[in-house]
Homo-oligomer: A and B are copies of this chain.
Amino acid sequence: MRVLGVDPGLTRCGVGVVEGVAGRPLTMLGVGVVRTPADAELGHRLVAIEQGIEQWLDEHRPEYVAVERVFSQHNVRTVMGTAQASAVAMLCAARRGIPVALHTPSEVKAAVTGSGRADKAQVGAMVTRLLRLSAPPKPADAADALALAICHIWRAPAQNRLQQAVALHTAKAPKGRTA
């Protein structure tokens, strides 16, 4: 399973590609940051993010894209930009028919560190260890993107089982007639 993780942001959009399956050592295929100038017009920044994400999709052909789920209770000034950058990442993936998964920051932290309240340093340290890197990826947005991809690989089996169970239950439930 090859996953592109995206930590959305207008100024720095973290991107990281991880390959592997749950229960086996994981491999990092690439990590980086798509940057846009803070003084550029918003429309132009979104176009630059689109071009950056498209390059990562072209180069790595991920089977899944995992994007951080944005909450509006965060910093009011930055949350709108984060939501807009995440929309561009989801749009790029969905346009290619690549499934998009959203994971909350605490799901990601819990997946890689065991605690939903871990700090940036802890996440960086675990990403470094799990991907057998020589140093934590910088900036933190890049490490967070890798953590998102790892989280998706590890959570996917459970999510799939859950979806299958729901589908089975829905199919069995006597919910009106079917042709």
The smallest beta-carbon distance between A90 and chain B, in angstroms, is 4
A46 at the interface (CB under 8 A from B): yes
Q: Is the interface of A mostly helix, strand, loop or mixed?
A: helix
A121 at the interface (CB under 8 A from B): no
Using an 8 Å CB-CB cutoff, how does the interface string of A116-154 with B read, 1 for contact, 0 for none? 000000000000000000000000000000000000000
- Please judge, given known A-B contacts A47-B95, A95-B47, whether A42 and B84 are in contact too, CB under 8 Å: no
Is B94 in contact with A83, judged by CB distance below 8 angstroms? no
Does residue A166 face the partner (Cβ distance < 8 Å to B)? no
Please tell me if the beta carbons of A80 and B70 are within 8 angstroms of each other in the complex. yes
Tier of interface size on chain A: 20 to 34
In the complex, which residues 55-84 of chain A have their Cβ closer than 8 Å to any Cβ of chain B? Answer: 70-73, 76, 79-80, 83-84
Candidate in A44, A93, A102 with the most chain B CB atoms within 10 angstroms? A44
**Chain A, 22-67, CB within 8 A of any chain B CB:** 41-44, 46-47, 50
Q: Which residues of B contact A91 (CB under 8 A)?
A: 43, 46-47, 50, 88, 91
- A38 to B91: give the CA distance in the assembly, Å: 16
